[in-house]
């Protein structure tokens, strides 16, 4: 799927810990898509590789029905074997692999960055977009350093590729990211920990549309 920075507007990342009884990752992704999510990342830390591949393969047609790219977190093999639209890699994933040779140019490549040097390196490696954060305190990664909006803006403006902000973002603090030159926001619990995922996603999308990044 062709990448556009508009797809980063509302970037939803799954987290298995928020699943309720009888729910699957497919179920919650479908609700987020119905609410207007523009990109989906499947993030699995406990599934074995074969189950992860099977899960992504099942969700991919659903995302494509909504015209939304599906990104795999961290695992390049899973992304390739499932034919996902892209892969998102952290800084620790960049050391042992020549990413340019392993990830096809046709695949969306997201790379996490916490400073300008990392951002420039990611761009040089062929990243399609940057994931920058944490921009607020988050329970998902409690050891993550928090970036103030000024630093976020500096990083976003240091490269020619799009930036999505991540970390502790919710309905109440989205407006604090105004004028930071980002393309959109990435959320986990603000979507998937909610009782009504579709409504939560729709509400956040409404705030985004009223916010000038």
* Active-site entry in 16, 121, 141, 202: 141
* Active-site entry in 4, 5, 16, 43: 43
Residues 71 and 137: their CA atoms lie apart, in Å, by: 24
* Active-site entry in 9, 82, 112, 153: 112
Residues 53 and 35: their CA atoms lie apart, in Å, by: 25
Residues with Cβ < 8 Å from 113, sequence gap 6 or more? 91, 119, 121, 122, 130, 131, 132, 155
Note if 43 is an active site residue: yes
Residues 124 and 161: their CA atoms lie apart, in Å, by: 10
Chain length of the chain: 213
Note if 112 is an active site residue: yes
CB 15 within 8 A of CB 44: no
| Local structure of 87: helix, strand or coil | strand
- Could you tell me the CA-to-CA distances from 91 to 76, 79, 100 in Å, in that order? 14, 18, 15
Note if 128 is an active site residue: no
Q: Which residues are catalytic?
A: 43, 112, 141
């Amino acid at each position: 799927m062709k990448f556009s920075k508009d797809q980063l507007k509302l970037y939803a990342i799954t987290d298995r810990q928020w699943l309720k009884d009888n729910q699957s990752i497919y179920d919650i992704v479908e609700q987020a898509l119905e609410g207007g999510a523009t990109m989906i990342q499947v993030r699995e830390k406990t599934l074995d590789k074969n189950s992860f591949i099977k899960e992504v393969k099942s969700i991919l047609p659903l995302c494509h029905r909504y015209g939304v790219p599906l990104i795999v977190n961290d695992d390049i093999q899973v992304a390739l074997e499932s034919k996902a639209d892209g892969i998102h890699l952290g800084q620790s994933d960049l050391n042992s692999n020549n990413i340019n040779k392993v990830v096809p140019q046709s695949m969306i490549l997201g790379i996490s960055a916490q400073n300008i040097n990392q951002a420039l390196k990611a761009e040089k490696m062929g990243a399609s977009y940057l994931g920058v954060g944490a921009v607020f305190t988050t329970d998902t990664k409690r050891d993550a350093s928090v970036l103030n909006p000024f630093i976020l803006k500096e990083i976003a403006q240091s490269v020619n590729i799009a930036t999505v902000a991540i970390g502790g973002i919710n309905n109440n603090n989205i407006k604090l990211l105004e004028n930071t030159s980002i393309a959109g926001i990435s959320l986990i619990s603000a979507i998937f920990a909610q009782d009504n995922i579709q409504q939560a996603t729709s509400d956040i999308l409404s705030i985004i549309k009223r916010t000038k990044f």
